[in-house]
Chain A
Amino acid sequence: MMAATRYLIIGNGVAGVSAAQEIHRHDPSGPITMIGDEGIPYYYRASLSEWIAEDNTGEMVLARTPAFYAALGIESVVDTVLSVDTEAKQVILDNEDPLGYDRLLIATGASPNVVPIEGLEETLVYRTWDDARQIKVGIASETRVLILGGGVLGLELAGALARLAMRQIAIVQLLDFVGPPLLDEPAGRWLEQRIRSDGLMLFLGDTVERIVAQTAHLQSGEALDFDLFVQSVGVKARYPEVPGLEIGKAIRIDAHGATNLPDVYAAGDCTETRVRSEDRWRPTRIWLDCARQGKVAGCSMAGIEATLTEYPFLNASILYDVRYAYIGDPNGGGGVTYLMEDDGVYRKLRVVDGNLAGALLMGNRRGMMSLYRAIGLPVAEYGDAVVRPDFAWNDLTGRNWDYDFY
């Protein structure tokens, strides 16, 4: 009888757990070990802001219940993987003895960038529950918060803190508009107005040059006092040392989740994938893609044929305090752009060669899921009607995604 395949997963985020789920489904007898260095079960990063703002309890931040782990028979190890010895097929741990594997998944996510600033000794970042805890402990209504970085995460944090009515929230952003890469400049301006009207301070095209005690000196000459300083200036892929592993800006995986090394797979924020249509490598950055990659890698590891479909890009969530959907490629150059701006609403659709190329919907996202299905379809004949919330996408796609049962 063949011995059961031993599966080892580094990283118990969404990519790792999605993989474990598939492995268990296709090979229930293969023992799964998951190594994570956060010391807590899989949780929702996107839910941390609600937790800071006290809309969600800690219980709600957890992504799965203990019963789920038990059902999958996952063995959890709390440790940091320093490196992988692919010859001996084992991972080298920081504290414990090496662990062997038959198939390995690297799902180690990303770590936040930190900009060195003169006079800054330590800085808070925003990625993990522990980071969120430190931010939460550090705030009170009298707190003056300074966030470096006006990208998606910085704005999300600002939005959560704004709900808690801080004394002062300031955002310093190097580019001269907020919300990249989701927003382009016009959309950024739209959101900027909203943020300013809530009384938040925005310093655009600016950066923190020096910190003296509790004062940040900006490049523009402005001096800002703060009690809490958080950096949110992007992330980079994080992974243990693996000799011979093909890496660009992140671990390169093929459409089956495999790396260039035998029996080594990768998924999630630590990877980049080939976008065939654009002939470039794209880093993985969003939850949905991490989950899909994890599932494909999990199937491949269990010996089931699975391929990552090149879906149009879809990211829907909350930016500052606005619900948005970013679908396909709304911001690329070329084509015709249709815009609709209304009180609290910003909708933009881009049509290239008569076909729907992308959409950015903020405030009113009506039709978003059916619009997602319509990427690539010809829409030239409808003119600017496509940008309106009541456009009948379901008639165009021939299926009613929004309410499949209707």
Chain B
Amino acid sequence: MEWDGSEFEASLKRVTEFGLDNCIGVNDCMRACPVNRLGVNQNELDSVLASGEWTERVQTFVTECVQCGDCTLACPAGVHRDHMMLMLKAMLPKIPMQWQLYYYLKGRRDQQLLISLSNVYGRLQAGPLGKHVDKADLAEKDLLFYFGCYIFSSSKAPAATLTLADRLGLDYEVLAGLRSCCGWPQYLTGKMGYGQQMLIHLETLINRVAPEVIVTGCAECYAGLVRLKKKTGASWTPLTTSEWLLQHADKLAWHKLDTPIAIHDSCHITKKLGKPDPARQLLTRISDVIEIAPSPDECVCCGYYNIHANHELNHELHLEKLAVVAEKGAEAMACECVTCWEAFALSFKQADVPLWELMVAAEQATRGGE
């Protein structure tokens, strides 16, 4: 399929222009932002957008924005502040080193040698799942598990998901690795063109499998799939791992844990795409669910992108999250999104609070039942 290469940028420009005209200055966006530790005001952002004249504060803040969308939900005038932040990311004069590395690796399909080398390393790291990393032969299957780059992460979710699928006796194909990136990291770093390229390439890979359903455990990959489907009108249905497993839940025997577990909502799945329920329904089968209110005070952000920009800020966020979890009387927290889990993992480990991945918990709760 041919895409107009400038489509994303044009849409960003349109949204930004509308935002600049329509912002009435109540600053609700910046008060709602979970990572705005510098206390940046929207007039600082709009001044940069309108004049191209950067300040250090705005530059730092722009690199720290995680694109959670809280600002947009808070705006009384209907301004898409998150997209305006994306525009600022695209305009950044000084790009952080970590970002440069990130899209050198992930954004450039022409860096074949580098990708091949990192995939060799990636395969080793992915262990038994290594065979799926950027594999050339993709079979036609109705069910496709899409693990993108998180196949390399320390997450146990991909393995648990496949174990569950095997337990259910399902036939499937797996798509994972650097070449099947959803493009989100590129968007996050303001590289719209690269992001779009990645998504187009992803489509060609998906077409080889010609699935009916694509399942992913990463909120960003999921958002990428939703976007791809919207743009291409593809017939497959994107599902989160929770949605998928819920469809089969009655075929499994569940033993409930007696630990009450707090649930962390991912910004993409819950807030932006409006699907808070599947993860809860699933967790109810595993343990008592402890809710965290969707306010910025309680639903503290995982700060994922700051892994690449600001570690300290991330850690601060995580300490706040841990405090909320403790206050709620939860003994653990569960994440639906692999990315959130990755972001939180270290801080929770240091604090000695169990951090569950929903698929891993589900796999354990249904083990040896039949």
Q: Are A and B a genuine interacting pair, yes or no?
A: yes
A-side interface residues toward B, CB under 8 Å?
Answer: 18, 21, 43-44, 46-47, 50, 55-56, 59-65, 67-68, 70-72, 287-288, 291-292, 295, 314, 316-318, 323, 325, 365, 368-369, 400, 403-406
**Pairwise interchain contact A68-B47, C-beta atoms closer than 8 A:** yes
Of the listed residues B25, B46, B55, B227, the one surrounded by the most CB atoms of chain A closer than 10 A to its CB is: B25
Shortest CB–CB separation between residue B276 and chain A, in angstroms?
14
Which residue of the partner chain, among A21, A68, A317, contacts B77 with CB atoms under 8 Å? A317
**Pairwise interchain contact B43-A65, C-beta atoms closer than 8 A:** yes
Residues from chain B with Cβ under 8 Å of A325 in the complex: 78
Residues from chain A with Cβ under 8 Å of B365 in the complex: none
**Pairwise interchain contact B76-A318, C-beta atoms closer than 8 A:** yes
Any A CB within 8 A of the CB of B223: yes
Shortest CB–CB separation between residue B230 and chain A, in angstroms?
6
Residues from chain B with Cβ under 8 Å of A65 in the complex: 43-44, 47, 55
Which residue of the partner chain, among A47, A59, A61, A292, contacts B21 with CB atoms under 8 Å? A292
Bin chain B's interface residue count.
35 or more
Shortest CB–CB separation between residue A289 and chain B, in angstroms?
9
Any A CB within 8 A of the CB of B127: no
Shortest CB–CB separation between residue B155 and chain A, in angstroms?
24
Any A CB within 8 A of the CB of B323: no
Within 8 A of A (CB), among B42-62: 42-44, 46-47, 50-53, 55
Which residue of the partner chain, among A55, A288, A404, contacts B22 with CB atoms under 8 Å? A288
Q: What are 27 A-B pairs with beta-carbon distances under 8 A?
A: A21-B51, A44-B25, A44-B43, A46-B26, A47-B26, A47-B27, A50-B26, A50-B27, A55-B31, A59-B41, A60-B42, A64-B43, A64-B47, A67-B47, A68-B47, A68-B50, A68-B51, A287-B22, A314-B78, A316-B77, A404-B11, A404-B80, A405-B86, A405-B187, A405-B223, A405-B227, A406-B272
Complex CA gap A291/B22 in Å reads 8
Across the interface, name the chain B residue whose C-beta is closest to A46: B24
**Pairwise interchain contact A70-B50, C-beta atoms closer than 8 A:** no
Of the listed residues B8, B12, B24, B53, the one surrounded by the most CB atoms of chain A closer than 10 A to its CB is: B24
In the complex, the number of residue pairs spanning A and B with C-beta atoms less than 8 Å apart equals 99
**Pairwise interchain contact B8-A405, C-beta atoms closer than 8 A:** yes
B-side interface residues toward A, CB under 8 Å?
Answer: 8, 11-12, 14-15, 20-22, 24-27, 31, 41-44, 46-47, 50-53, 55, 76-78, 80, 83, 86, 187, 223, 226-227, 230, 272-273
Complex CA gap A403/B44 in Å reads 24
Residues from chain B with Cβ under 8 Å of A60 in the complex: 25, 27, 41-43
**Pairwise interchain contact B78-A18, C-beta atoms closer than 8 A:** no
Across the interface, name the chain B residue whose C-beta is closest to A18: B21
Complex CA gap A50/B74 in Å reads 14
Across the interface, name the chain A residue whose C-beta is closest to B75: A316
Residues from chain B with Cβ under 8 Å of A287 in the complex: 22, 24, 77
Add 10 more A-B contacts to A369-B78, A405-B187 (CB < 8 A): A44-B25, A60-B25, A67-B55, A288-B22, A404-B11, A404-B12, A404-B14, A404-B83, A405-B227, A406-B272
Residues from chain B with Cβ under 8 Å of A63 in the complex: 25, 43, 46
Of the listed residues A43, A72, A368, A405, the one surrounded by the most CB atoms of chain B closer than 10 A to its CB is: A405
Residues from chain B with Cβ under 8 Å of A400 in the complex: 230
**Pairwise interchain contact B55-A405, C-beta atoms closer than 8 A:** no
Across the interface, name the chain A residue whose C-beta is closest to B24: A46
**Pairwise interchain contact A56-B26, C-beta atoms closer than 8 A:** yes
Residues from chain A with Cβ under 8 Å of B50 in the complex: 21, 64, 68
Known: A405-B11, A406-B226. A295 touches B27 (CB 8 A): no
Residues from chain A with Cβ under 8 Å of B52 in the complex: 71
Residues from chain B with Cβ under 8 Å of A67 in the complex: 47, 51, 53, 55
Residues from chain B with Cβ under 8 Å of A317 in the complex: 24, 76-77
Residues from chain A with Cβ under 8 Å of B26 in the complex: 44, 46-47, 50, 56, 318
Known: A56-B26, A287-B22. A406 touches B41 (CB 8 A): no
Residues from chain A with Cβ under 8 Å of B31 in the complex: 55
Complex CA gap A47/B26 in Å reads 5
**Pairwise interchain contact B272-A403, C-beta atoms closer than 8 A:** yes
Residues from chain B with Cβ under 8 Å of A365 in the complex: 78
Shortest CB–CB separation between residue B40 and chain A, in angstroms?
10
Known: A46-B25, A406-B223, A406-B227. A64 touches B76 (CB 8 A): no
Complex CA gap A404/B226 in Å reads 11
**Pairwise interchain contact B11-A295, C-beta atoms closer than 8 A:** no
Residues from chain A with Cβ under 8 Å of B226 in the complex: 406
Complex CA gap A369/B227 in Å reads 18
**Pairwise interchain contact B46-A64, C-beta atoms closer than 8 A:** yes
Complex CA gap A291/B21 in Å reads 5
Of the listed residues A287, A317, A406, the one surrounded by the most CB atoms of chain B closer than 10 A to its CB is: A406
Known: A56-B27, A64-B46, A368-B78. A71 touches B51 (CB 8 A): yes
**Pairwise interchain contact A47-B25, C-beta atoms closer than 8 A:** yes
Complex CA gap A323/B78 in Å reads 10
Complex CA gap A65/B55 in Å reads 10
**Pairwise interchain contact B20-A68, C-beta atoms closer than 8 A:** no
Across the interface, name the chain B residue whose C-beta is closest to A403: B272
Shortest CB–CB separation between residue A132 and chain B, in angstroms?
13
Shortest CB–CB separation between residue B312 and chain A, in angstroms?
25
Complex CA gap A380/B12 in Å reads 32
Complex CA gap A288/B22 in Å reads 5
Residues from chain B with Cβ under 8 Å of A406 in the complex: 223, 226-227, 230, 272-273
**Pairwise interchain contact A72-B51, C-beta atoms closer than 8 A:** yes
Which residue of the partner chain, among B41, B42, B76, B80, contacts A323 with CB atoms under 8 Å? B76
Complex CA gap A68/B22 in Å reads 18
Shortest CB–CB separation between residue A157 and chain B, in angstroms?
14
Complex CA gap A318/B15 in Å reads 21
Shortest CB–CB separation between residue A375 and chain B, in angstroms?
14
Residues from chain B with Cβ under 8 Å of A369 in the complex: 78
Across the interface, name the chain B residue whose C-beta is closest to A395: B230
Of the listed residues B8, B14, B43, B77, the one surrounded by the most CB atoms of chain A closer than 10 A to its CB is: B43
Of the listed residues B50, B78, B80, the one surrounded by the most CB atoms of chain A closer than 10 A to its CB is: B78
Complex CA gap A190/B86 in Å reads 39
Across the interface, name the chain B residue whose C-beta is closest to A42: B43
Complex CA gap A368/B18 in Å reads 14
Shortest CB–CB separation between residue A72 and chain B, in angstroms?
6
Residues from chain A with Cβ under 8 Å of B22 in the complex: 287-288, 291, 314, 316
**Pairwise interchain contact B25-A295, C-beta atoms closer than 8 A:** no
Shortest CB–CB separation between residue B94 and chain A, in angstroms?
16
Of the listed residues A47, A61, A365, the one surrounded by the most CB atoms of chain B closer than 10 A to its CB is: A47
Shortest CB–CB separation between residue A261 and chain B, in angstroms?
26
Residues from chain B with Cβ under 8 Å of A404 in the complex: 11-12, 14-15, 80, 83
Shortest CB–CB separation between residue A285 and chain B, in angstroms?
13
Complex CA gap A154/B279 in Å reads 45
**Pairwise interchain contact A61-B53, C-beta atoms closer than 8 A:** no
**Pairwise interchain contact A62-B83, C-beta atoms closer than 8 A:** no
10 closest Cβ contacts across the A-B interface? A44-B25, A46-B24, A291-B21, A68-B47, A71-B51, A47-B25, A71-B53, A65-B47, A404-B11, A60-B27
Across the interface, name the chain B residue whose C-beta is closest to A315: B77
Of the listed residues B14, B27, B46, B227, the one surrounded by the most CB atoms of chain A closer than 10 A to its CB is: B27
